[in-house]
A and B are shown apart, each in its own frame.
Chain A
Amino acid sequence: MSTLTLEDVVVRYNKRGVSALAGYSDVILPGEWLGLIGPNGAGKSSLLKAIAGLVRSDGCLAVDGVVLGDLNDRSRAALVAYVAQDPLIPNDMTTREYVLLGRTPYIGYFGSPTRADHRVVDDVLERLRLGGFANRLLGELSGGERQRIVLARALAQQAPILLLDEPTSALDIGHQQQALELVAELRRTEEITVISALHDLTLAGTYTDRLVMLHHGDVVASGDAADVLTADRLGQIYNVCVTVEVDVDELGNRQVVVVPRRGFPAP
């Protein structure tokens, strides 16, 4: 269980350019699932990449008080796992070989995987019900299966912080739900803190604990899905015409459903 603290995080892709992320600050609590939403170019991926160390950023990023910028690559990878929007999956690699890559932060520079590393992989494959795929080539698997295997690799990394950049963008609605249910289950059982960028607003509101809406690198709204996902705000930020319905189940849980409507929003 780890807390991720972000203080005034700024991402610029060139020195004189506009900030892709302009001074983001937040505290993501242990076991929390934070959803990042916003139109294309809002800064969602930039924030995830800054946490993962893939882009240079100003400001302070720390896990349980440990400043990520002070760590070497392996130590950082042991704290933060990252799943890219469109991960490169070698077709001629077996599932076991691919998931074993998640153990890289724990293997010395010239070292080899240990029995313990193999046990972690076995355990992850078993818990994600992928044991039967262990020796299958990745090129033989369906999109949904490949997505689970990418999550398995991230899980094998045993990092307390899991970053997901559009984890369901290439999946049908059934596999989208299965993938997010899997993340929700892993968050509970493994006590992982999850930060994910999501384009599907209804799914984002359904699965995450808290939403942050970004636009042009700035935070425009943050909080509960019902507070962030309002028709007026979505019309203004996304330039769309939507209605937002809030369902309340028998347990009192609110579910926000964003329904697109034909036409353009009023200027």
Chain B
Amino acid sequence: MSSLATSSEQAVPARGPLRDGVWFMGAATVLLAAIVFGSSIGPAGPDWWRVPLELLNRLPLIDFDSGVSDGEWAIVWKIRMPRVVLGGLVGGMLSIAGAAYQGVFRNPLVDPYLLGAAAGAGLGATIGLTIGRSATSGWPVDPVPAIAFVFAVTTVMVTYAVGAAFGGSRTGVTLVLAGVAVVSFTSAIQAFILQRNLDVIREVTRWLLGSLTRSSWADVRLVLPYVAVSSLVLIMHRRHLDVFRVGDEEAATLGVSVPRTRLVIVVAATLGTAAVVSVSGLIGFVGLVVPHVIRLIAGAGHRRLLPLSMMGGAAFMILADVPGRMLTRPAETPIGIVTAFVGAPFFLYLLRTRRVGA
């Protein structure tokens, strides 16, 4: 074996950086187009075609009259743009977390809500909207997102503790089963609370279906650090996720500490997921399907899958939000419904026309 070279030279990108670059540039272009489109469409404000011109006009060294008044720009910047950015953060985080969960558990049917992040957030929101509402009515800040976040993280921690107690941290399977049990238990508590507080069912249901209606720059500032740190940690574990694809046992013989690495990935994915669902509610489908779509189009290697899932999920969520706010004006269609309506047929089309590799 001594004849073979040793691994001491400077790190270089894996083979195919050019093709990776093409994929990333393509995804970034789609995301940019989605941002421009999402910020151009709305029930009020300037003509849709003037918004891209005004966005261009706002760039350094460019100055021309786009025909957008200050009042109209305020609508774009203060109402539409936070919604677009938040939608992108939510969609991107759910998608990259879904890809990471699917990779670390080697299960294509897994989504970021597997270990109880959604059920915990739902219970937290329900408590916040029922029991805690009267106590916090005078607070300057809505406490529901914070309560949802705390409950989401706590629920996943309980799942992990239960799973680890039965050996789940080594195999992963027990962890998934622990998630099923904890989610059922949490949902039962939520149903019990709702059954005793029927007056808030409508509000809770609206939260559960997910919405970006009341998005603000404050929400963006709240969520952005979690999304940035979580996705950075996940992308830094792209190589470990590839190793996980050969199974826990062989990953261990390749020098990967399986329980510890799985814990780091799950914690990162959970914190990001909990942060975004605490402000957007439970938006389903994105975290499950977007990674699959990316796999079908660009392959299953996590070096490409994670960044593309993030950009693809962000673009998908921004675009899915447009019909949600336009179709049933002045009311809004919950974005979770739109994502399923738009995404499911597209996914089935891809399954039919492209190779299935997941």
A→B interface (CB under 8 Å): 52-54, 73-78, 80-82, 84, 87-93, 96-98, 100-107, 110-120, 123-124, 137, 139, 157-160, 190-192
Contact = CB atoms under 8 A, between A and B. Distances in A.
17 contacts: A52-B253, A54-B253, A77-B255, A80-B253, A87-B247, A88-B245, A93-B300, A93-B301, A97-B301, A104-B239, A104-B254, A114-B11, A114-B12, A115-B9, A116-B5, A116-B6, A118-B14
B357 A112 contact: no
Nearest to A89: B246
B255 A191 contact: no
Nearest to B6: A116
Interface in B241-264: 242-243, 245-247, 249-250, 252-257
Interface in B286-324: 295, 299-301
B43 interface: no
A111 B10 CA distance: 10
Interface of B: 1, 4-15, 236, 239, 242-243, 245-247, 249-250, 252-257, 295, 299-301, 355, 357-358
Contact of A158 (B4, B14, B239, B299): B4
Contact of B245 (A93, A102, A111, A158): A93
A116 B253 contact: no
A122 to B, nearest CB: 10
B1 A191 contact: yes
Contacts of A103: 7
A114 B8 contact: yes
Contact of B15 (A53, A74, A106, A118): A118
Given A54-B253, A80-B253, A90-B245, A123 B11 contact: no
A78 to B, nearest CB: 7
A81 B4 CA distance: 16
A80 B250 CA distance: 12
A204 to B, nearest CB: 23
Contacts of B300: 90, 92-93
A97 B253 contact: no
B252 A105 contact: no
B265 to A, nearest CB: 13
A87 B11 contact: no
B11 A53 contact: no
Given A80-B253, A101-B246, A157-B254, A112 B7 contact: no
A84 B250 contact: yes
B15 A112 contact: no
A102 B254 contact: yes
A105 B255 contact: yes
Count chain B CB atoms within 10 A of each CB in A90, A105, A191 and give the residue with the most.
Answer: A90
B305 to A, nearest CB: 11
A101 B242 contact: yes
A76 B6 CA distance: 16
